[in-house]
Chains A and B, each alone.
Chain A
Amino acid sequence: MILKPQIRDLRIIAHFLGKIVLAYGAMMAAPIVISVLFGERVPIIDFSIGLLLSACVGFGLLKLADVPQGAEASWMHGMVVVSGGWLVCMALGAVPLYLSGHFVSYLDACFEAMSGLTTTGLSLVQDLDHLSHAANFWRHLAPFVGGQGIIVVVLSLLVKGPAGAFRLYVGEARDEKIMPNVIETAKFIWKVSLLYLAFGTAMLTAAGVWAVGMPLKESFFHGICIFMAGFDTAGFAPRSQSIIYYQSGIYEVVTLVTMIWGFFNFNLHYAVWSGKRPELWRDIETRTFLVSLTLVTAMVCVGLAQGDTYLNFSAAFRRGVYQVISGHTTTGYMTIYAPQFLTEWKPLALIGILVAMALGGYTCSTAGGIKMLRVGVIAKAFREDVKRFLTADSAVVTTKFRHLRDLFLDDKLVRSSALVIIAFLLLYFIGAVIGCYYGYPFLNSLFESTSAAATVGFSTGMTQAAMPVALKITYIVEMWAGRLEFISVLVLGGFIISFFRGK
């Protein structure tokens, strides 16, 4: 029997939503600082409006909830807060973007905000090259917040009770704790991310000045933006040409390192930090990634060799490998123009990129897609089944693998992995069908849908302000569901239904 939510449930949800909105709104202070630094007056007003609106909504929700101190979230509350929180943050984050005047509609600004928060990188911004530094910074800060997890921000700053905190943390598609305490885990994620931000920004600033030829101030701005969007596998760039703008092999290499570093499991970061470097190579996710990367790179290179676009191997390799790693890490940085995927790349190369995008990165990381752990588990399960047929009937076949610790393959794990894989494949397919309904070719639609659901950000040129409203909404839902890995989104749906049908 489905229970109808009580007023107390709504109050608890409003309480945590209020905290999320307050933390998210406070981040709008950062673009205001950027506006002051670059002498931009209008964005100060735009972001102040966004900040105050968030403060009013957040504070209003807390007042409405009026929950006694120490109230904890149940599993249902946690899931609804997480999925609802992302929607509310999208709506509020879109306000200053829309006020910038670089979006055709508020829906487009919402699309951009959701794309940023979910670390996707698909963009509907108009005339990006004339966008203010403040709005551009906000576009890049969104993935840095969303990639680490908005809930992680709230847990780090505003939540004191550990029990309910874990339920919120899990709702955001993270079920692996790094530290015994989930709040400590959240704090660790932020400490590591901020330290990497400082290091990565310094690297990119240096590359920007010496290799690209940008002035120091601009180079620093681009460095911090590119790091935030690259480390969080988002793929936003301050210029409309993505990484092509920099016209530098060295800059491309630094961005590659940033992307790869960002898509590792935070537990593996912790292992490296605590001196257990071999853990990085022993993990099933790393091994699966290496196999998958090799196969996909081979596909793309053969596909490019079949065409006559690139006259030498080094050019094909440079363009091919960059796009493969960018797709596989679900970042979406590009060193080719979007339509070139269709006009210059042979179908085999395009399918290679599609597979890389669909598979995605590591669990408990900023990457999206199916994830390497699930692919590895299913591959092991197939292997175990084949092995079972080849050994004596009485033999007991077990499979062990390494993921942070030694684990035995069990049916429960295989089932949960298979369910998420099926859900992702369905999401890719449904998005593609909706694209076809609006008259786009199947391959283009599948490419774009996979890019949105796996939070990659590659585009063949389909994603633009002129596309149908229903398709924009489809991609927003795909990005949201893909980033949160379905459960919390489904629970939110169930919660709404239970309002009408529950007893």
Chain B
Amino acid sequence: MGIKCQVSGIRLKTFRPFKLFLFCCLLATCNLQLATVFAQPVQSNDLIANAKSYDGKTVEYEGELVGDILRRKDFAWLNVYDGQNAIGVWSSNALLAPVKWAGGYEKKGDMLGINGIFHRACPEHGGGLDIHAQSIVLLKEGSRVLRPIERKRVLWLGLLLGVLACLLIIHILQQRQRAR
């Protein structure tokens, strides 16, 4: 037995109950996905400002790994900086295979794409704001950053040394004059 249905005034094909059930399941799944997964990367400012609406949901977050990888037995903390803030990412060691470079002075850290559950006040970690990673993707490998010494600064250094030397010579001459 077929059922005729009309959605938004458009007459659709006749559905059998099983097909209808499948369609409903598909629709429900899509709705659920829309509600919990943010396919576009979220900015840290947005996460912090609207923490309540992201709480407990799966988010995509991208940024540079900065500082050190803080190992805790089978897990580790990564601090991932997206240019606005660094957010703590709790990850199992198994997910860290592609991670090589942590950013710092003269080091550009790996750009990572994090897929994980966002916690506004993580019950597992004393109420901290964090992301529990489900997957980590290496977007761009980090590298060493060379910082050359500017010639202008070396000249300034030389100039200041000269001024100081002059002051010291004047001081010594004055001392000698006084001693006489």
Contacts and interface: CB of A to CB of B under 8 A. Distances in A.
Interface stretch (A227-235, A242-250, A359-367, A371-379): A242-250
Interface string B152-167: 0110110011011001
Interface in B94-112: 103-107
A309 B121 contact: yes
A129 B121 contact: no
B160 A56 contact: yes
Interface in A318-346: 318-319, 335-337, 339-340, 343-344
B19 interface: no
B128 interface: yes
Interface residues on A, range: 35 or more
A391 interface: no
Contacts of A130: 66, 103-105, 107
A129 B81 contact: yes
Q: Is the interface of B mostly helix, strand, loop or mixed?
A: mixed
Interface stretch (B24-32, B33-41, B70-78): B70-78
**Residue of B50, B103, B121, B154 with highest tally of chain A CB at under 10 A:** B121
Contact of B160 (A52, A311, A343, A344): A52
A335 B125 CA distance: 12
Nearest to B120: A309
A81 to B, nearest CB: 21
Nearest to B104: A130
Given A239-B79, A318-B126, A52 B67 contact: no
A133 interface: yes
Given A45-B149, A310-B127, A318-B126, A129 B66 contact: yes
Contact of B85 (A63, A335, A337, A344): A337
Contact of A245 (B79, B103, B127, B147): B79
B147 A48 contact: no
**Residue of A52, A99, A131, A214 with highest tally of chain B CB at under 10 A:** A52
Given A130-B104, A315-B126, A319-B126, A214 B164 contact: no
A213 B72 contact: yes
Interface in A292-315: 309-312, 314-315
Given A60-B167, A249-B126, A41 B70 contact: no
Given A53-B160, A213-B71, A99 B86 contact: no
A41 B66 CA distance: 21
B85 to A, nearest CB: 7
B2 interface: no
B167 A56 contact: yes
Contacts of B88: 241, 244-245, 247
A132 interface: yes
Contacts of A56: 160, 163-164, 167
Contact of B51 (A55, A129, A344): A344
A244 B154 CA distance: 38
B138 interface: no
Interface residues of B, number: 49
A215 interface: yes
Nearest to B145: A130
Contact of B67 (A38, A239, A319): A239
Contact of B105 (A99, A132, A215): A132
Contact of B149 (A42, A131, A247): A42
Contacts of B157: 45, 48-49, 52
A223 B156 CA distance: 34
B86 A240 contact: yes
B105 A131 contact: yes
Given A49-B157, A63-B170, A130-B104, A315 B121 contact: yes
A133 B68 contact: no
B153 A46 contact: yes
Contact of B171 (A63, A239, A314): A63
B106 A40 contact: yes
Interface in B133-180: 147-150, 153-154, 156-157, 160-161, 163-164, 167-168, 170-171
Nearest to A320: B127
A340 B129 contact: yes
B43 to A, nearest CB: 13
Contacts of B49: 339, 343
A218 interface: yes
Contact of A215 (B51, B68, B130, B153): B68
B123 interface: yes
A315 B160 CA distance: 54
A132 B104 CA distance: 8
Given A59-B167, A99-B153, A241 B85 contact: yes
A74 to B, nearest CB: 26
A212 interface: yes
B148 to A, nearest CB: 8
B106 to A, nearest CB: 7
Nearest to A249: B126
A41 B149 CA distance: 8
B120 A344 contact: yes
A241 B77 CA distance: 13
B127 A316 contact: yes
A272 to B, nearest CB: 31
Interface of A: 38, 40-42, 45-46, 48-49, 52-53, 55-56, 59-60, 63, 99, 129-133, 212-215, 218, 239-241, 244-247, 249, 309-312, 314-316, 318-319, 335-337, 339-340, 343-344
19 contacts: A38-B105, A41-B147, A42-B149, A52-B164, A56-B160, A63-B170, A129-B104, A130-B66, A213-B71, A214-B70, A240-B85, A241-B79, A247-B128, A247-B130, A249-B126, A314-B126, A315-B121, A337-B85, A340-B51
Given A45-B154, A312-B123, 13 more contacts: A41-B147, A45-B153, A53-B160, A59-B167, A63-B167, A130-B66, A130-B103, A239-B86, A240-B85, A245-B67, A335-B128, A343-B50, A343-B51
